[in-house]
Amino acid sequence: MKNLTNIGVIKQLLEKYGFTFSKGLGQNFLINPGVCPKIAEYGLAQEGYGIIEIGTGFGTLSAELAARAEKVVAVEIDSRLLPVLDETMSEFDNFKVINQDVMKTDLKQLIEQEFTGLKTAVCANLPYYITSPVIMMLLESELPVDAITVMVQKEAAQRICAKMGTRESGAITAAVNYYGKAQTLFNVSRGSFMPAPNVDSAVIQICPDFEYRNKIKNKSMYFKIIKGAFAQRRKTLVNSLSSALSLSKDEIISVLEKSGLDKNARCEQLDMNMWTTLVNNFE
Ligand code: SAM
């Protein structure tokens, strides 16, 4: 296996293929040898698993995934990387790359076609510019995956993995909590990448879970309410929800009271059980 975290090897590849990093595509490749094996191991790259990877770069993480999992299918938007991957991933016949924008890829179909009889998981060092849209797309597609293990900007990790009912939580926390449980696995410093970004990163894992999907009666009502509440997070729920739901303040107060909530409650004070009760009472 080529040592793709070795600066000398990377420089040779850059020169041989005339490759230049695209800032617009979030191309910061991992050069810290300790990180990819850890992502692969936490990310369920193991026997019996098919792994979807998003964004291959030169294949640093892809190789660690392919060395452990039954099969790896990567979605990479930049066609300039294909000849590089032909070389760097040549020893793995369980690796395939699809040259496409992941946001335009039907991942459910990909799983059905590529991973028959296998359990599945997603692993990626995500490009920063589309972190939240990719995570939301992965969750909203309700893919049959056991885990989504991704590297994101540290601040995004803090938001996504915040506890509901705390100041750190936001609309994305509430959205992620609807679909599953998120946790930060470990932090990764900016010096672990080439070129180095000007932010630190963290690897997070979201494990899909049906607890709140089952408890919340009306999904679209839940998303309408959390969107409206967190868009005006400084306001009380009475104020933010009366405009988001076009209801009078008295109507909102009566639902809050029925849900056991104070009429001065704000969105960052509610845990998932409180949101569930509130949304179901609006139903
Ligand atoms: N996995 C490699 C690593 O860890 O070194 C590369 C990670 S780099 C942060 C992000 C990768 O995602 C790049 O290879 C980039 O070209 C690719 N990418 C960016 N936007 C994408 C998109 N919309 N769909 C698929 N791949 C994308």
Helix (H), strand (E), coil (C) string for 77-146: CCHHHHHHHHHHCCCCCCEEEEECCHHHCCHHHHHHHHCCCCEEEEEEECCHHHHHHHHHHHHHCCCCCC
Site residues for ligand 1, CB cut-off 6 Å: 25-30, 54-57, 60-61, 75-78, 101-103, 125, 127, 130
Q: What is the CATH number of the domain that holds 264?
A: 1.10.8.100
State the pTM of this model. 0.96
Domain that holds residue 265: 215-282
Whether residue 271 sits in one domain with residue 155: no
Whether residue 67 sits in one domain with residue 178: yes
Q: What is the CATH number of the domain that holds 169?
A: 3.40.50.150
How many domains does the chain fold into? 2
pLDDT values of the chain reduced to their tens digit, one per residue, 283 residues: 779 999 999 999 999 999 999 999 999 999 999 999 999 999 999 999 999 999 999 999 999 999 999 999 999 999 999 999 999 999 999 999 999 999 999 999 999 999 999 999 999 999 999 999 999 999 999 999 999 999 999 999 999 999 999 999 999 999 999 999 999 999 999 999 999 999 999 999 999 999 999 999 999 999 999 999 999 999 999 999 999 999 999 999 999 999 999 999 999 999 999 999 999 999 7
Task: Say how far apart CA 153 and CA 267 lie, in whole Å.
Answer: 24
Whether residue 268 sits in one domain with residue 141: no
Residue 119's beta-bridge partner residues?
Answer: 49
Of all atoms in ligand 1, which is nearest to the CA of residue 128?
A: 9
With the most atoms of ligand 1 within 8 angstroms of its CB, the residue from 76, 123, 151 to mutate is 76
Whether residue 119 sits in one domain with residue 145: yes
1 occurs within a structural domain: no
